[in-house]
Chains A and B, each alone.
Chain A
Amino acid sequence: KAGVTQTPRYLIKTRGQQVTLSCSPISGHRSVSWYQQTPGQGLQFLFEYFSETQRNKGNFPGRFSGRQFSNSRSEMNVSTLELGDSALYLCASSTGAGNTIYFGEGSWLTVV
């Protein structure tokens, strides 16, 4: 059974640009969440979607946004990139609250 798939794996962007990251959840999983991982802050929750609805959002500025499509695939977007946005962005999926949450390999974003 295929795991959570994230694309692209690596990307380099210039400050001020925007970026879109993509996530395909495990088949049958309707909950998709996103996390940012940095050496200093660890893993921090960005937002969670279920059936195309955002159910929870973390403490990140409005430059961070996401959406989920009818096939459960999800994208997150970061606009007006800052150097501090350099991080590993992780997507996770599950069937619902309390159930196992599986992570993808992540997208490494470097902002220069």
Chain B
Amino acid sequence: EDQVTQSPEALRLQEGESSSLNCSYTVSGLRGLFWYRQDPGKGPEFLFTLYSAGEEKEKERLKATLTKKESFLHITAPKPEDSATYLCAVQALGGGSNYKLTFGKGTLLTVNP
């Protein structure tokens, strides 16, 4: 069964203090690893999809990387508006697994001014 574990559960940073969020996964065959941002009371907002080990993607202050066992979301010089829950999910290869995401519990990031 596919599994995704995110750490830490919560992270509090000062504005400008860079850090990383971790997503460890177990999947029979990886089709894609997805990162989302979710604000309170809203649906998840798509950030990145990574498909193979060694792949990296960047967007503003965020950079996502992927290995065969885990993914990192690096946040450089965060701002208060980066405060949100960050969700990691995997999509597996094969059959019905092609069409579903298995999510981790998320990391609640708080950036203080």
Contacts and interface: CB of A to CB of B under 8 A. Distances in A.
Interface of A: 4, 31, 33, 35, 42-45, 48, 50, 55-58, 90, 92, 97-98, 100-106
Nearest to B43: A103
Interface stretch (B15-23, B53-61, B64-72, B92-100): B92-100
A31 B46 contact: no
B49 interface: yes
Interface string B34-67: 1010000011111001010000000000000000
Contact of A55 (B36, B43, B46, B96): B96
Contacts of A90: 43-44
Contact of A48 (B49, B100, B105, B106): B100
B98 A101 contact: no
Contact of B32 (A35, A48, A98, A105): A98
B75 to A, nearest CB: 21
B57 to A, nearest CB: 12
Contacts of A42: 103-106
